[in-house]
Amino acid sequence: MLSTIEAARTSSDRVRRSTPSHLNEKIDREIARNVETYGNTSQREIQQRIHDLDREWDVERVLEVNASTLALTGLVLSLTVNKKWLVLPATVMTFLLQHGMQGWCPPLPILRRLGVRTRGEIDREKYELLSRMKERG
């Protein structure tokens, strides 16, 4: 059985493999820029950034919450308006299944273009900042 860290890494790797390289590079540049910017600030500001990173939603969470919201909306509409609304949760669940199996689904490119990062990318920034804090003492 995979540990939580290994599972996050596997999921993160699948998302990065399914993302165009120019978007991955843009996100990597943003991480490097953030590490450089926050790495040269006070300990307190670095700690605040780390706190913000701990609260940042990763792409998996965004997909899961959006899929759940759309599926529940479709179910409610199918009960109150028209049974044809069941197409919405069926479509959403198909996309979620596809993402679980392949690491890709139609909303993923949009989320990545918007800069939504994987847990691994968020953690990379976090641990580089922690390393900078330790170097300072």
At residue 10, the pLDDT reads 53
The count of domains in the chain is 1
Indicate if the pLDDT at residue 5 is higher than 60: no
- What per-residue string of b and e applies to 41-74 under the rule 16 or more CB within 10 Å gives b? eeeeebeebbeebeeeebbbebbeeebeebbeeb
Indicate if the pLDDT at residue 2 is higher than 50: no
Q: Which range marks the domain in which residue 58 is found?
A: 4-136
pLDDT band at 13 (very low <50, low <70, confident <90, very high): confident
The Cα–Cα gap between 110 and 112 comes to 5
Query: What would you report as the CA-atom Rg of the chain, rounded to the nearest whole angstrom?
Result: 18
What backbone torsions phi and psi does residue 3 show, to the nearest 5 degrees?
-70, 170
At residue 9, the pLDDT reads 52
Two structure tokens written together for 67: 């899929």
> What digits encode the pLDDT tens for the residues 36-49?
999 999 999 999 99
The Cα–Cα gap between 8 and 120 comes to 7
The proportion of the chain whose per-residue pLDDT surpasses 70, expressed as a percent, equals 91
